[in-house]
Amino acid sequence: MYDILTNFFRSKVSNKKIVFVIGSGRSGTHLLGRTIGNLEIFDAYIEDEKLFNKVTEVAVNPNRNLKDIKHILKLYEGVFNKANKTRILEKTHPNIWLVEPLKEHFNDAKFIGIKRDVYATVASMLNHSGVLSWYNRLPLNEVNPFLGINNENKDVFSKLPIESKCALRWKSHIERLNYLEEKYPHEVYVVKYEDFYHDYDFLMKNISAFLEVDVPIKSEKLNTDSIDKWKTFLTAEQINNIENVIIGNYNY
């Protein structure tokens, strides 16, 4: 459906190289975005107030239409055209659900996603009121990949413990990242959050190669406690609930 957008208007920022950071909330998208956005060659828009809320509202809505998409593309056009540099980093991580129209419109755009261990991600979700607020803001009885609701679990989703809901959200985003990376191997690259801590030099080298930058990439100082912090937060019951829904068992 998104190829219809080319009939509306074509991008006027074709002279700029755009990178979108995508992924699940609490998976390390901020760390990834800052790592790239801190390079002097980029104009960085990390959850920018002009973009984040409006784009997110469209991205999380499974009933979005072409009018919604067109509005978002025009919004990006307006912001990106004012950028002073030829490279742009944009971090609105729910754009994971809008990759196709963004790719269609911004022909040379690249997308870099990030995966994180399910237990660490869910533990962080449970500590973040903004993430949890979506369960009060969106319907819990209709299919929505942003929340991890599908035809198989939609009848039971609302009754699941909160950690199970978060685990399904994580699973849906992981499946989406896998799909995108396989379908668009030259435009989508997915990194592992844990590699920031366990394979740092190799990760920085791969990010540089994917983005085709010839300046060194370095992250901010890392907090090593964040890797295993979930082990002191999640209970045995919560871990069991997470593991059950990941394998599709909703009757535990």
Block residue for tokens 């998409």: 69
Span 108-157, pLDDT tens digits:
999 999 999 999 999 999 999 999 999 999 999 999 999 999 999 999 99
Contact 209, 202 (CB under 8 A): no
Does residue 235 sit in helix, strand or coil?
Answer: coil
| Pairwise CA distance, residues 203 & 218, whole Å | 10
CATH code of 32's domain: 3.40.50.300
State the total domains in the chain. Answer: 1
Crossing angle of helices 162-183 and 236-246, rounded to 10°: 40
Computed from CA positions of residues 243, 245, 247, 252, in that sequence, does the dihedral angle turn out positive or negative? positive
Query: How confident is the model over 170-175, as a mean pLDDT?
Result: 98
Span 97-106, pLDDT tens digits:
999 999 999 9
**pLDDT attached to residue 15:** 85
**pLDDT attached to residue 76:** 97
In a domain, 91, yes or no: yes
Query: How confident is the model over 41-69, as a mean pLDDT?
Result: 97
In a domain, 192, yes or no: yes
Span 180-222, pLDDT tens digits:
999 999 999 999 999 999 999 999 999 999 999 999 999 999 9
In a domain, 102, yes or no: yes
In a domain, 1, yes or no: no
Torsion of the alpha carbons at 21, 23, 27 and 31, rounded to the nearest 10: 0
Crossing angle of helices 118-126 and 236-246, rounded to 10°: 120
Confidence label for 252 from pLDDT (cuts 50, 70 and 90): low
**pLDDT attached to residue 1:** 53
| Pairwise CA distance, residues 153 & 157, whole Å | 6
**Domain range spanning residue 232?**
15-246
pLDDT at 11 over 90: no
**pLDDT attached to residue 6:** 47
Please report, rounded to a whole number, the percentage of residues in the chain having pLDDT higher than 70.
94
In a domain, 4, yes or no: no
In a domain, 6, yes or no: no
In a domain, 230, yes or no: yes
Q: Which residues pair with residue 112 across a beta bridge?
A: 21, 189
Measured in Å, how far apart are the chain's first and last C-alpha atoms? 40
| Pairwise CA distance, residues 205 & 203, whole Å | 5
In a domain, 68, yes or no: yes
pLDDT at 85 over 60: yes
What are the φ/ψ torsions at residue 157 (nearest 5 degrees)?
-55, -45
Please report, rounded to a whole number, the percentage of residues in the chain having pLDDT higher than 90.
92
